[in-house]
Amino acid sequence: MSVPQTGERGTIKPKADFDAGDDVVALRKAIEGLGTKDKVLIDILTHRSGAQRQLICEAYLGATGRTLVEDLKGDTSGDFEELLVALVTPPAVYDCHEVMRAMQGAGTKDSVLIEIFASRSNQQIKALSDVYLEETEKMLTLDLKSEVSGDFSNALLLLAEGKREDNTAVDADKAKEDAKTLYDAGEKKWGTDETKFVDILCNRSIPQLRQTLVEYKNISGKTLQHSIEGEMSGELEELLVAIVKCVKSVPAFFAERLYESMKGGGTDESTLNRIMVGRSEIDMLDIRAEFKKLYEYSLHSAIESDLSDSLGECVTAICGGED
């Protein structure tokens, strides 16, 4: 399974003098000794790149005949266990398992599907679909079709195909034309033609949509997000707003998701874990900056005041230093 390269804006970087064998010895001591030493697990797994963690998994299996995932599940529990398992799972496999989890049981967790399919690139969506096919021998799009319905289903399935246009050149005339189509389909008429919104927002390239947002504001005097929120409701509104937010800024989208996961009485640990691990090597530094800009306190301090014990330590380590 290929692992994405570590990005410049991630908080987790490859360890310079990395030795998978040494790490396996330390991990075994921490897991097999009396009482699992959480600090050792955290120190190792949050200070190695995803590619290095996969090498550790291979070496661990070779040394013990057991997978590291099995042993982590056997020796840790709850949200801390889920976070450690996420760290040693390749990104496409982890995305795939999160999608499966969202589809299981009574009531599909639409917000998880929306977060994943609105924010991932074609390449990431294709990779998670390949894992899904490999593990279930079924097509992800067919299984999704049986879980969701209506215009929301049409939009989600378009995204799940991973066929969004990916050219980087912007066609200014096309952006004006699309902006007018959206205005005519929403603000200008009685009753909204959702299919036009789905077609444009789920198919155009991200740079093209960025220009379309500008043109839409010029025509209508409102932002497209504002119009969608006024014209639509339910899951379709949530999905299209998520796409618009990701077009504007993926890090700001995730900063807001993190804030939502921690505000109020309880913490949504699974969303917190998914974002912290998923973005740790891509743009966590940018997410931290956006969080500070939006909420006027640091992500680091939000995590520290919200989480305790080993889970808090591990999430804080992934977050990196105080801003």
**Rounded-to-integer distance, Cα 57 and Cα 134, Å:** 20
- Alpha-carbon distances, residue 246 vs 95, 118, 125 (angstroms): 17, 7, 15
**Mean pLDDT of the region 222-242:** 95
Tell the CATH topology of 20-88.
Answer: Annexin V; domain 1 (1.10.220)
Domain spans of the chain? 20-88, 91-161, 172-248, 251-319
Whether the per-residue pLDDT at 50 is higher than 90: the answer is yes
**Rounded-to-integer distance, Cα 62 and Cα 191, Å:** 62
**Mean pLDDT of the region 235-239:** 96
Angle at 280 between CA 61 and CA 297, to 5 degrees: 145
**Rounded-to-integer distance, Cα 38 and Cα 5, Å:** 27
Long-range Cβ pairs for the range 102-110 (8 Å, 24+): 103/143, 103/144, 103/147, 108/147, 108/148, 110/148, 110/152, 110/235, 110/238
Whether the per-residue pLDDT at 209 is higher than 50: the answer is yes
Joined together, the tokens standing for residue 56 give: 């550790």
DSSP string for 32-80: HSSS--HHHHHHHHTSS-HHHHHHHHHHHHHHHSS-HHHHHHHH--HHH
Q: How many helices (H) and strands (E) does the chain have?
A: 20, 0
CA atoms within 13 A on the CB side of 298: 11
Multiple choice CATH, 91-161, 1.20.120.420, 1.10.220.10, 3.40.50.720, 1.10.1370.30: 1.10.220.10
**Mean pLDDT of the region 1-27:** 83
Report the top-level CATH class of 251-319. Answer: mainly alpha
**pTM to 2 decimal places:** 0.93
- Alpha-carbon distances, residue 168 vs 9, 164, 201, 222, 277 (angstroms): 21, 12, 16, 26, 28
Q: Which amino acid is at 247?
A: V
pLDDT value of position 33: 79
Joined together, the tokens standing for residue 86 give: 């996420």
The predicted-structure confidence for 245-300, as pLDDT tens digits, reads as follows 999 999 999 999 999 999 877 889 999 999 999 999 999 999 999 999 999 999 99
CA atoms within 13 A on the CB side of 277: 29
| CATH for the stretch 172-248 | 1.10.220.10
**Rounded-to-integer distance, Cα 87 and Cα 273, Å:** 9
- Tell me, yes or no, if the two domains 91-161 and 251-319 fold the same way: yes
Question: Do residues 268 and 261 make contact, with C-beta atoms less than 8 angstroms apart?
Answer: yes
pLDDT value of position 5: 46
pLDDT value of position 107: 61
**Mean pLDDT of the region 205-224:** 97
